[in-house]
Structure formats: structure tokens, C-alpha cells
Amino acid sequence: MKNNQYYRDPKINCESDLIYIPSDDTYLITDFIKEKLNTNSFDDIKLENIKNVLDMGTGSGIIPILLLIIKKENRNFKANIYASDISEVVLKCAKNNELLNGFNSQINFIHSDLFDSFPNSLFSKFDIIFFNPPYLPLLDDSEFPKNEKDLCWDGGKGGIEIFIRFLNNVKEFLNLTHKGCIYYISSSRADQNTLERINKEKGFINKIIEKKHFFFEDIFLNKLVLSKI
């Protein structure tokens, strides 16, 4: 069901060049959220079954902040909002953006390299996970030395190494009782064939739900659900 409610865009301030500034791929996710999160459901998932939502690699914090804005307007959406990032500098920016939008400590921030530092208390916790991973393929390891700024875009070999690491542990943190799902961004520049194969090997069904062409690539918003629960 399409949502007719208007939700304002979060105010975002990114002062450091280490922070991924919201871009076309980000807005694929935020526009989808605003379209699909209505009074009773999100993308045909009943709101009463959405208790915990995670934004992995939150960057500026635009996605969890948007979810807080929606919570304020939609009394049926009561999910706890979590956001994680590998960079403490980035998390500080996201926390400042939360304050900038009139919220204080309503997002549960986690400093972690993917799931590495997540506590066991979050096992089987998340009904929905959003992830806009670094997805550009690194052509030559020697040509591009790794630094914190590279973390915004460097998806490793084939542009899928970060997402594969994510897949290796995500089942432990998905709530399988209500068929927890993942929404993530991928690019036509990445190794799509290998990504599709690994998704299947991990027991997931992948569906492309939005697609946009930007200059030299197609950007996909994908939905992952487990094939058997």
C-alpha cells in the first residue's frame, strides 16, 4: 500500500570528508521508506511486527533520523531504532544530526565494524536491516591505499567484499520469527553474478525493488528474505 503521508526530510550537516554525504543511492532508500511506511505496515510488513530496526553503516544518520521523524508522526510505528558505523568520527556526526533534528538519544548507536562489536543481547533482534554498503570495486590494491576516507566507497574486490562479510553474520541478528528482512544497495559496476550466487548459498532470495540509472551505472535497491525459515 502506498503512503500518502508527507514526512519532512532530515536536516543533515556533514563537516568531515570522512562522512558519506547523502546521495542518489541514499535517497533510493529514504524515498522507499517514505512511500511504503504507512499507518499499518511497511512494505506489507505489519507495524506491530517491526520492533527493532537497524541501519548498518549509518554515515550521516539520515536513515535512522528519518525513522524517528516518522515515529513522531505515526503512533503505530513504535520500533526501536539502531544505527552502527565503523568510524567514531562518523558516529559523532550522526549523533549531532540527531540533535539537529530535535531528537536526543533516541537512536541506539553502536561503534562496530559490521557486526564484530554487537553484543549477544542483539542476537535475533532485528526485524528490518538497512544497509547502503561501500559497493565500488577496487581495481588495484596497490594503487589505492586504504584509509578511513576510503571506507565510504571501497567495496573491495568486485565491489562486494564488504557485503559478503555482512552476509556471513547477519542471520544471527535477524528476527526470524516474523521473517526479518534486509534492504540494501548494490551497483551494476559490482560483480552481480557472484553476489547473486552467494545470496543463494546463504539461503536468501533477492528481489530488486527499485532501480535508477545514474551516469555510468545502475543503482539497485534490493530486498533479501530467507528462502526457508
The domain spans of the chain are 24-226
Q: Please, which pLDDT band fits residue 97 given cuts at 50, 70 and 90?
A: very high
Mean predicted confidence (pLDDT) in 156-173: 88
**How many helices (H) does the chain have, and how many strands (E)?**
5, 9
Whether this model's pTM surpasses 0.85: yes
Q: Tell me the average pLDDT across 201-215.
A: 93
Rounded to whole angstroms, the maximal C-alpha distance in the chain is 52
Residue 226 has pLDDT above 50, yes or no: yes
131 within 8 A of 182, measured Cβ to Cβ: yes
Q: Residue 168 has which C-alpha cell?
A: 556471513
| Better-predicted residue by pLDDT, 138 or 205 | 205
Mean pLDDT of the chain: 89
Confidence of residue 214 (pLDDT cuts 50, 70, 90): confident
pLDDT band at 145 (very low <50, low <70, confident <90, very high): very low
State the fold for domain 24-226. Answer: Rossmann fold (3.40.50)
**What average pLDDT does the segment 37-45 reach?**
95
